[in-house]
């Protein structure tokens, strides 16, 4: 048993087991996709065109152009989050000058949950192919704050149970810094991706800026 509790002020998946939900029987386009018959070559050979996926960024409103639309904010930090225009008079310029906004919070988290099936990834295809899931986020901290950035990404089953997670720990850097993590070989059953980030709670004045977050699904090109 592990506890996947957020440092942002609310427990997300406390005290649940990391487990893989068995791949159930099913069919897609007339194929039997039960574990005994569904293989990578079967999927590619039978309907490769259907399964060719374009790499996409599945987080929405990653710079704050739409305010806080699509983000769920923890209750304790509801009134702390704000959107800042880049560049600012502290820290370093953002590496991509096309990015004009960022989020800032002294203490707290915000999150999104991605429904993979709604994004076009059928259950059976996810179970068999298990494409790489790549998480990227950018953060920086303020020199006049005891600043701590955190991130927490969880792969979830259909019942919202944790299968695998990435929790890098508290970070601090005045320069814009990118974190990156690749989920691979995570087993069957992944249906949702939970993404959360913000500023950690260390009991002192603090704050972190975040922007340009992304989650991408990167299967191989099945057309070859």
Q: Which of 25 and 45 is assigned the larger pLDDT?
A: 45
Identify the CATH homologous superfamily for domain 2-218.
Answer: Galactose-binding domain-like (2.60.120.260)
Per-residue pLDDT at 37 exceeds 80: no
Q: What percentage of the chain has pLDDT greater than the value 90?
A: 49
pLDDT band at residue 171 using 50, 70 and 90 as cut-offs: confident
Q: What percentage of the chain has pLDDT greater than the value 70?
A: 66
pLDDT at 201: 58
Per-residue pLDDT at 32 exceeds 50: no
Q: Report the distance separating Cα 153 and Cα 166, nearest Å.
A: 5
CA-only gyration radius of the chain, Å: 19
pLDDT at 219: 65
For 143-164, the pLDDT digits (tens) are 665 668 899 999 999 999 999 9
Q: What is the mean pLDDT of residues 183-204?
A: 88
Q: What is the mean pLDDT of residues 17-46?
A: 40
Per-residue pLDDT at 5 exceeds 60: no
Residue with tokens 């298990």: 130
Alpha carbon separation from 147 to 31, 151, 201 (Å, rounded): 52, 14, 9
Q: Can you give the residue ranges of every domain in the chain?
A: 2-218
């Amino acid at each position: 048993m592990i506890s996947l509790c957020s440092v942002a002020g609310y427990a997300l998946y406390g005290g649940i087991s990391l487990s893989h939900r068995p791949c159930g029987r099913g069919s897609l386009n007339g194929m039997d996709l039960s574990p005994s018959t569904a293989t990578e070559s079967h999927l590619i050979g039978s309907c490769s065109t259907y399964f060719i996926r374009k790499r996409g960024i599945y987080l929405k409103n990653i710079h704050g152009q739409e305010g806080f639309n699509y983000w769920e904010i923890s209750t304790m930090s509801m009134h702390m989050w704000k959107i800042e225009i880049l560049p600012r008079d502290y820290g370093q310029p953002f590496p991509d000058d096309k990015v004009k906004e960022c989020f800032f919070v002294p203490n707290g988290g915000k999150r999104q949950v991605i429904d993979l099936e709604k994004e076009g990834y059928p259950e059976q295809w996810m179970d068999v192919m298990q494409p790489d899931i790549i998480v990227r986020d950018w953060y920086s901290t303020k020199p006049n704050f005891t600043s701590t950035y955190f991130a927490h990404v969880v792969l979830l089953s259909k019942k919202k149970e944790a299968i695998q997670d990435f929790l890098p720990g508290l970070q601090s850097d005045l320069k814009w810094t990118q974190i990156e993590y690749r989920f691979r070989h995570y087993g069957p059953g992944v249906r949702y991706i939970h993404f959360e980030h913000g500023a950690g709670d260390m009991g002192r004045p603090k704050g972190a800026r975040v922007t340009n977050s992304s989650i991408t699904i990167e299967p191989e090109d099945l057309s070859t």
